């Protein structure tokens, strides 16, 4: 046992304190002659163990123990009652208030020292355990920060990919317009006013389209805590507007079927992120497995939506495992579906995976209020 364990000795009789000071001299000892002094010391010092007398004026030991256990700063300090009150009801009350031991006066010195040693060991184990828990909590916090940082990076990469697909045609048109005008100017060919206005109008149209694309993606990636009433079909339309160009580039066919739709109350932006994550995951699987005639079918019924692909399904039926951190069936970080599951739970929804005859299917649904 470490020599620097600190004990608080509480007794209104100085001679009793002197006995304890001599008996437990191997430890750091702090005496207190009344209950209020004991409370003040316990909240200001790093106390490992308290030896507490019961029969004291103004505030008895039971009241001191009660107040110590009510204060989060001192609630974990073990308390050994030392008292001439040895009736079983007193012993029972002491344990009920949170004491860890009860030693009757007059006590056997060797027995008291043994009990003190035991409870100091238990206190040391408790402190070590608390420290380990704090260390693990900090590790998990850092892991979560890293996870969300990776998520942001993945989202940024996804954003750039989709903007690139959306801008491919407008940039090609602007390049063609620029090439035509430049060729005519270099060849000293006059450009009629009407034709020049046509070129500038076409260029302006393409620039506005590109600007609107940026606004659309900005709105999608803008975090919001606001909940609202909306239909899943509206949410799906917003997501498909972002994915249209990239899906067209990948030759992915989309079918949407809607029946008996109900409105839901949730964070629309967050629900859109779930659909976005699932659909981009399906796109990546198509690419990985080189699926011929890739197709995604969306079924909206009531307050749930089912998204189904034809990429062959989830391997080994690991339906729950795919929602775990860092679990991925392709080269991504595997955080999209994990975050989607947690976002769904936050919005009082469920997200489930299964296999159909042709591929994987994901169901996002909201329970009726």
- Domain identity same for 82 and 50: yes
- Check residue 233 and give its pLDDT: 94
Confidence of residue 39 (pLDDT cuts 50, 70, 90): very high
Minimal CA–CA distance to 277: which of 329, 333, 339? 339
- Domain identity same for 100 and 25: yes
- Check residue 331 and give its pLDDT: 42
Question: Is the predicted pLDDT of residue 34 greater than 70, yes or no?
Answer: yes
Query: How far is it, in rounded angstroms, from Cα 181 to Cα 95?
Result: 93
Contact present, 327 and 334 (Cβ < 8 Å): yes
Instruction: Compute φ and ψ for 262, nearest 5 degrees.
Output: -120, 150
- Check residue 180 and give its pLDDT: 80
Higher pLDDT, 140 or 101: 101
List pLDDT tens digits, range 196-254. 788 788 788 778 777 776 776 666 666 667 788 999 999 999 888 777 777 887 899 99
Q: How many domains does the chain have?
A: 3
- Domain identity same for 215 and 230: no
- 353 Cβ neighbours under 8 A, 6+ residues apart: 314, 319, 320, 322, 323, 360, 361, 362, 363
Type and span of the H or E element at 299 = strand 295-302
Mean pLDDT of 269-296: 89
- Domain identity same for 233 and 357: yes
Poorest-pLDDT segment among 27-36, 261-270, 323-332: 323-332
Burial of 338 (0-12, 13-18, 19+ CB in 10 A): buried
- Domain identity same for 192 and 275: no
Residue 290: inside a domain: yes
Residue 131: inside a domain: no
- Check residue 1 and give its pLDDT: 45
Poorest-pLDDT segment among 37-41, 86-90, 209-213: 209-213
- Domain identity same for 228 and 361: yes
Q: Which of 164, 190, 220 is the last residue of a domain?
A: 220
What tokens were used for 291?
A: 């699926």
Type and span of the H or E element at 10 = strand 6-10
Mean pLDDT of 5-29: 92
List pLDDT tens digits, range 142-159. 766 666 666 656 666 666
Query: How far is it, in rounded angstroms, from Cα 199 to Cα 343?
Result: 47
Q: Which of 154, 186, 220 is the last residue of a domain?
A: 220
- Domain identity same for 246 and 350: yes
Query: How far is it, in rounded angstroms, from Cα 104 to Cα 117?
Result: 17
Query: How far is it, in rounded angstroms, from Cα 358 to Cα 290?
Result: 15
Q: How far is CA 286 from CA 62, 192, 280, 309, in A?
A: 71, 49, 10, 9
What tokens were used for 34?
A: 């009344």
Higher pLDDT, 363 or 260: 363
CATH of the domain at 266: 3.30.565.10
Residue 21: inside a domain: yes
Number of other residues whose CB lies within 10 A of the CB of residue 50: 29
- Domain identity same for 238 and 350: yes
- Domain identity same for 166 and 269: no
Minimal CA–CA distance to 94: which of 127, 36, 55? 55
- 179 Cβ neighbours under 8 A, 6+ residues apart: none
Helix (H, G, I), strand (E, B) or coil at 85: coil
Contact present, 277 and 332 (Cβ < 8 Å): no
Residue 12: inside a domain: yes
Query: How far is it, in rounded angstroms, from Cα 159 to Cα 243?
Result: 10
- Domain identity same for 252 and 361: yes
- 318 Cβ neighbours under 8 A, 6+ residues apart: none
Q: Which structural domain, as residue segments, surrounds residue 190?
A: 143-220
- 161 Cβ neighbours under 8 A, 6+ residues apart: 246
Q: How far is CA 148 from CA 2, 31, 304, in A?
A: 43, 51, 27
The DSSP bridge partners found for residue 300 are: 258, 305
Q: Which of 107, 125, 152 is the last residue of a domain?
A: 107
CATH of the domain at 85: 3.40.50.2300
List pLDDT tens digits, range 115-150. 898 988 888 888 888 788 788 777 777 766 666 666
Residue 132: inside a domain: no
Residue 133: inside a domain: no
Residue linked to tokens 């009150």: 85
Poorest-pLDDT segment among 79-83, 178-182, 211-215, 321-325: 211-215
List pLDDT tens digits, range 49-71. 999 999 998 899 999 999 999 99
Residue 117: inside a domain: no
Contact present, 235 and 275 (Cβ < 8 Å): yes
Question: Is the predicted pLDDT of residue 332 greater than 50, yes or no?
Answer: no
Residue 124: inside a domain: no
Question: Is the predicted pLDDT of residue 335 greater than 60, yes or no?
Answer: no
- Check residue 269 and give its pLDDT: 83
Question: Is the predicted pLDDT of residue 2 greater than 60, yes or no?
Answer: no
- Domain identity same for 358 and 281: yes
- Check residue 339 and give its pLDDT: 76
- Domain identity same for 247 and 329: yes
């Amino acid at each position: 046992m470490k020599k620097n364990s600190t004990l608080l000795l509480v007794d209104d009789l100085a001679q009793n304190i002197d006995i304890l000071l001599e008996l437990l001299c191997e430890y750091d000892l702090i005496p207190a002659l009344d209950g209020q002094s004991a409370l003040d010391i316990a909240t200001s010092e790093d106390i490992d163990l308290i030896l507490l007398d019961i029969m004291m004026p103004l505030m008895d030991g039971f009241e001191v123990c009660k107040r110590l256990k009510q204060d989060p700063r001192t609630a974990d300090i073990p308390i050994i009652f030392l008292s001439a009150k040895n009736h079983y009801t007193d012993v029972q009350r002491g344990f009920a208030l949170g004491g860890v031991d009860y030693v009757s006066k007059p006590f056997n010195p060797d027995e008291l020292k043994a009990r003190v040693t035991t409870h100091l060991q238990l206190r040391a184990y408790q402190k070590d355990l608390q420290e380990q828990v704090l260390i693990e909590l900090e590790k998990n916090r850092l892991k979560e920060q890293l996870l969300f940082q990776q998520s942001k990076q993945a989202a940024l990469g996804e954003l750039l990919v989709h903007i690139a697909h959306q801008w491919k045609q407008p940039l090609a048109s602007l390049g063609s317009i620029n090439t035509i005008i430049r060729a005519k100017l270099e060849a000293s060919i006059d450009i009629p006013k009407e034709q020049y206005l046509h070129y500038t109008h076409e260029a302006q149209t393409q620039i506005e389209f590109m600007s609107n694309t940026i606004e659309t993606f900005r709105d999608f990636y803008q975090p919001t805590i606001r909940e609202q009433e909306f239909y899943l079909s509206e949410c799906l339309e917003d997501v498909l507007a972002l994915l249209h160009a990239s899906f067209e580039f990948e030759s992915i066919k989309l079918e949407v079927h809607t029946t008996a739709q109900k409105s839901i109350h949730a964070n629309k932006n967050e629900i859109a992120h779930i659909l976005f994550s699932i659909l981009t995951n399906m796109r990546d699987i198509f690419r990985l497995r080189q699926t011929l005639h890739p197709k995604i079918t969306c079924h909206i019924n009531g307050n749930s939506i089912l998204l189904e692909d034809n990429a062959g399904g989830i391997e080994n039926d690991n339906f729950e495992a795919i929602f775990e951190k860092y679990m991925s069936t392709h080269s991504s970080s595997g955080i999209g579906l994990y975050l989607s599951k947690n976002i769904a739970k936050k919005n009082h929804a469920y997200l489930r995976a299964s296999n159909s005859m042709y591929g994987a299917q994901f169901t996002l649904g909201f329970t009726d209020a």
